[in-house]
Structure 1
C-alpha cells in the first residue's frame, strides 16, 4: 500500500485501530456473556463449555489489544461499552432468571453469529496488513467452530 504523506499513514492506522476496537469491544462483550451464562446453568458440561468460550474471547481481546497498540493507537477498555446500545449478549440476562439452558444456548449462538458477521465484514477490507488478516481469520474460524459445537450442545439439551 502506498501513502502520499504522513497524514495518509495516520488515517490508515486510525482506520485499522477503529475496526479492531469494534472487535475488541465485541470480544469483551462475548466474554462477559459467556461468564454470565456459565454462572446461570446447572449442567457442568455447559458450565465448562461457557467458561472455555469466555477464556477464548479474553485471549482474542488480548491479541487485538496488542495489534492496536502496535499501530500506536489506544485500545478501548472493557468498561467503554457499558452505556452503549443493546447487544445480543445482553438479552441473555432475562433468560438467566428462567434458567432455561436451551434458551441460553440459543442466545449464545445468536451472539456468536453476530460476532461472525462483524469479523467477516472487517475481513472484506482488503487493506488490512497480513498479520492482522491472519489473526482475524484464525479468530473467526474459532468462533465458527464454537457455533458448530454450541449447535451440537443445543441438540443434546433439547
Structure 2
C-alpha cells in the first residue's frame, strides 16, 4: 500500500515527465521554425519547462522521493507527431502553434487533476499553482502569436 508521501511522489513524477516532454517538444518546435518571434517563444517555453522540472525535482526530494529520469512514451509520441506535422504541413508554424495550444491545455488539466485529487502540503500546492498559472498565462500568448500568423 502506497504511503501519503509515495502518492505525492508519484503524482509529482507524472508532472515531472510531462515537463520533460514539453521541454523537448518546445526545443523541437524552435528548431522547426524560421520565424524569429516563434523561435524565441518556443526557446523561452523550453527553458521555463526545464525550470519547472527542477522545481518539481526539489519538491520530490523534500519528500525523500526519487525523481524519474527521461520523458514519457506519450510525450515521445506527441513529439513525433509534432515532427510529422512540421514536415508535412504546408503551414507548419500554424500547426506547431496549434499543437502547442493543445499541449498547454492538456498541461493545465494535468496540474488541476493533481491539485484537486489529493490534499497537498502548502509548499507543493503553491509550487503547482504557480506553474499552472504561468502555463495559463502563456496560453493567451500562444493564441496571440497564432493570430499574428493569420
Structure-1-length-normalised TM-score:
0.87
Q: Which runs of 4+ in 1 moved over 3 A?
A: 85-90
Bigger CA drift: 100-109 or 89-98? Answer: 89-98
Greater Rg over alpha carbons, structure = 1
- The answer as to whether partners of 1:89 and 1:107 remain within 8 angstroms in 2 is no
- SS of the residue aligned with 1:153? helix
Q: Which runs of structure 2 are paired with 1:68-107 in the superposition (5 Å)?
A: 68-79=60-71, 81=72, 84-85=73-74, 87-98=77-88, 100-107=92-99
Query: How many residues matched?
Result: 147
- The answer as to whether partners of 1:24 and 1:61 remain within 8 angstroms in 2 is yes
The CA RMSD over aligned residues, in Å, is 1.6
C-alpha separation in 2, matches of 1:89 and 1:148: 22
1:154 matched to 2:146: yes
C-alpha separation in 1, matches of 2:110 and 2:7: 15
Structure 2 gap ranges (5+): none
C-alpha separation in 1, matches of 2:66 and 2:40: 33
Q: What is aligned with 1:3?
A: none
**1:89 deviation in Å?**
4.3
- The correspondence for 2:23, drawn from 31, 52, 62, is 31
Q: What is aligned with 1:20?
A: 12
**1:127 deviation in Å?**
1.1
C-alpha separation in 1, matches of 2:25 and 2:117: 28
Structure-2-length-normalised TM-score:
0.92
**1:85 deviation in Å?**
3.6
C-alpha separation in 1, matches of 2:64 and 2:146: 42
